């Protein structure tokens, strides 16, 4: 493919929409199992099927040697005390990393590996976080405006969402006394009761 350049909208933080770019939108209805407070999820959904997050990225072939990159925008909001967040994923090609650079807003990047090791990093404009190979990752908007990140990962990495559906993330980001707090997930306890997953 030919080299190209694209432009970020510096007001919005994200890459500007153009014919080269595609936009993927995730609404509340497509994120049924990720939030802990099912009752508030149903209540919120009955009011409006809100956009929780979206990606804007150029079309690049999913091939070895290519790089996938773009901007992710998580809108502000909560389900119960839990902040709006991405579904989170491992890469299908597990041993591939990723880098995130915050362009706007504030949030937290959660990571977890298959051994159950978790890490989290608070992000604001200018903070870059490196996700090493073999770590699942999820971004969470803990602020009152859009949380926008630039991301880049190998073009043949792919996405594995299924592995996280059985066990989920071991920690969650919730509002406590007006501040974001990283706390153990209730699903973690369920997983332990079942002997883990």
- Which residues lie near Fe ion (CB under 5 A)? 98
DSSP secondary structure letter of residue 38? H
**Separation of alpha carbons 58 and 68, rounded Å:** 8
Nearer to Fe ion, 98 or 146 (CB): 98
**Separation of alpha carbons 50 and 140, rounded Å:** 16
Q: How far is the CB of 177 from Fe ion (least distance, A)?
A: 32
| 187, 112 Cβ separation under 8 angstroms | no
Q: How far is the CB of 46 from Fe ion (least distance, A)?
A: 31
Nearer to Fe ion, 36 or 98 (CB): 98
**Separation of alpha carbons 173 and 142, rounded Å:** 8
**Separation of alpha carbons 38 and 129, rounded Å:** 31
Nearer to Fe ion, 98 or 106 (CB): 98
Q: Which residue is nearest to Fe ion (CB)?
A: 98
Nearer to Fe ion, 80 or 97 (CB): 97
Q: How far is the CB of 50 from Fe ion (least distance, A)?
A: 23
Angle (nearest 5°) at CA 110 between 10 and 195: 160
Q: How far is the CB of 9 from Fe ion (least distance, A)?
A: 23
């Amino acid at each position: 493919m030919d080299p190209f350049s694209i432009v970020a909208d510096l007001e919005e933080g994200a890459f500007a929409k153009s014919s080269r770019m595609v936009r993927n939108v995730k609404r509340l209805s497509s994120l049924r199992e990720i939030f802990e407070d099912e009752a508030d999820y149903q209540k919120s959904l009955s009011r409006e099927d809100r956009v929780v997050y979206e990606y804007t990225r150029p079309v690049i072939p999913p091939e070895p040697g290519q790089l996938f990159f773009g901007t992710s925008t998580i809108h502000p909001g909560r389900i119960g005390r839990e902040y709006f967040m991405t579904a989170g994923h491992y890469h299908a090609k597990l041993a591939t990393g990723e880098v995130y650079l915050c362009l706007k807003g504030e949030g937290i990047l959660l990571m977890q590996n298959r051994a159950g090791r978790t890490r989290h990093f608070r992000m604001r404009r200018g903070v870059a976080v490196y996700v090493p190979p073999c770590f699942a990752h999820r971004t969470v908007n803990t602020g009152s405006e859009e949380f926008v990140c630039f991301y880049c990962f190998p073009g043949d990495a792919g996405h594995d969402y299924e592995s996280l559906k059985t066990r989920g993330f071991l920690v969650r980001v919730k509002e406590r006394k007006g501040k974001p707090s990283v706390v153990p997930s209730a699903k973690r306890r369920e997983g332990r009761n079942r002997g883990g997953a």
